[in-house]
Amino acid sequence: MLKERIIEKVLWSIALPGFGQLLNGKFLKGLLLIILEVLINVQSNFNKVIIYSFQGDIQAAIDHVNYDWLMFYPCLYFFAMWDAFKDAGGGKERYSFLPFVFAAYFVTVGCIYSSDFQLFGVLLGPIWLPILSIIPGLSVGIILRIIIKTVRGTIDR
């Protein structure tokens, strides 16, 4: 039951940063995250960029995005997920935050290079490249967590 509640809070936080906090009863934190999400979304033209990207008009997405604001989004997004996860009872294991941190870092780097990085000759733009960057970010975070826990376990013996 606890695991289902944790998953529920994380999934709501994925839908909109702050929703997981509201479900966890952290109303001030939840409202602050929602306000920040809306502010960053509006200032970066994020919804318009999403629409252009889903319609396949990557150049229009690049032309309309405000990278100065979009750069804040990955850290806000993954912090909100981590925080909802932790407040719901998850994250008890050491270094369980690492996959969230590295996902945020890699997605931010994906944003930085999204206007000109091509994968197999395809320009992915400010939505698809950051989304694909989640995979290596989570992988690095999980691998580092395993390595650190293993090394610490060996040292602690």
Pairwise CA distance, residues 115 & 58, whole Å: 9
Both tokens assigned to 29:
């934190």
Residue percentage of the chain with pLDDT more than 90: 90
Question: Which residue from 6, 29, 19, 26 is spatially nearest to 89, judged by alpha carbons?
Answer: 6
Predicted confidence at residue 157, as pLDDT, reads: 58
91 φ, ψ to 5°? Answer: 70, 25
| 123 and 58 Cβ atoms separated by less than 8 Å | yes
Indicate whether this model's pTM tops 0.85. yes
Q: Which residues span the domain enclosing 53?
A: 2-156
155, amino acid identity: I
127, amino acid identity: I
How many domains, the chain?
1
Residue percentage of the chain with pLDDT more than 70: 99
Q: Convert the pLDDT of each residue in 73-123 to its tens digit.
A: 999 999 999 999 999 999 889 999 999 999 999 999 999 999 999 999 999
Predicted confidence (pLDDT) at residue 131 exceeds the cutoff of 70: yes
